[in-house]
């Protein structure tokens, strides 16, 4: 079985997508709540993927791992001489917006045609959303691993 893998980090500066359910068809309709910023961010992720996947997109079954590093709000830090220290009340885990599923959908959409042919190829998906350090950039570490043609 042929196995290929690539990983990279894309900067993160976007707003997630919104979804609604159509009342008569009961199907999801995805809308872009951020318009141009989301499109620009997707183009960045896609361009970085194209740099990594020089042999073209993977065509077999793939495993995808994503780690989103998101900036903490200023309110999580103290003031004055404690400006670099986290307050005891600061959340340890990122359990607020943006939603992990919307972030994931935006990345998978961006990877389509550059890293993978279609997001239906993904059979294993691991996603983590965590706080970045105070001076660390926001970003998404992306790993795509092809485990061979599905037969």
DSSP string covering 42-73, please?
Answer: HHHHHHHHHHH-TT--B-S-EEEEEEEEEPPP
Assess if CATH 3.90.1530.10 describes domain 4-146.
no
Return d(Cα 110, Cα 1) in angstroms, integer: 27
Domain ranges in the chain?
4-146
Residues 12-48: pLDDT tens digits? 554 444 444 344 444 434 444 556 777 888 888 888 8
Cis peptide before 98 (omega within 30 of 0): yes
Q: pLDDT digit string (tens) for 76-116? A: 999 999 998 999 999 999 999 889 999 999 999 999 999 99
Find out whether 122 and 62 touch, Cβ atoms under 8 Å.
yes
Tokens of 6: 């690539």
């Amino acid at each position: 079985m042929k196995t290929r893998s690539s990983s990279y980090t894309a900067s993160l500066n976007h707003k997630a997508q919104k979804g609604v359910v159509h009342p008569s068809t009961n199907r999801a309709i995805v809308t872009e709540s951020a318009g141009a910023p989301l499109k620009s961010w997707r183009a960045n992720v896609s361009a970085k993927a194209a740099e990594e996947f020089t042999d073209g997109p993977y065509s077999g079954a793939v495993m995808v791992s994503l780690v989103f590093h998101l900036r903490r709000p200023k309110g999580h830090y103290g003031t004055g001489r404690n400006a670099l220290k986290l307050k005891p009340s600061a959340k340890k885990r990122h359990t607020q917006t943006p939603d992990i599923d919307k972030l994931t959908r935006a990345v998978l959409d961006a990877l389509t045609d550059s890293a993978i042919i279609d997001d239906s190829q993904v059979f294993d998906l691991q996603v983590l959303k965590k706080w970045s350090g105070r001076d660390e950039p926001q970003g998404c570490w992306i790993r795509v691993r092809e485990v061979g043609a599905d037969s």
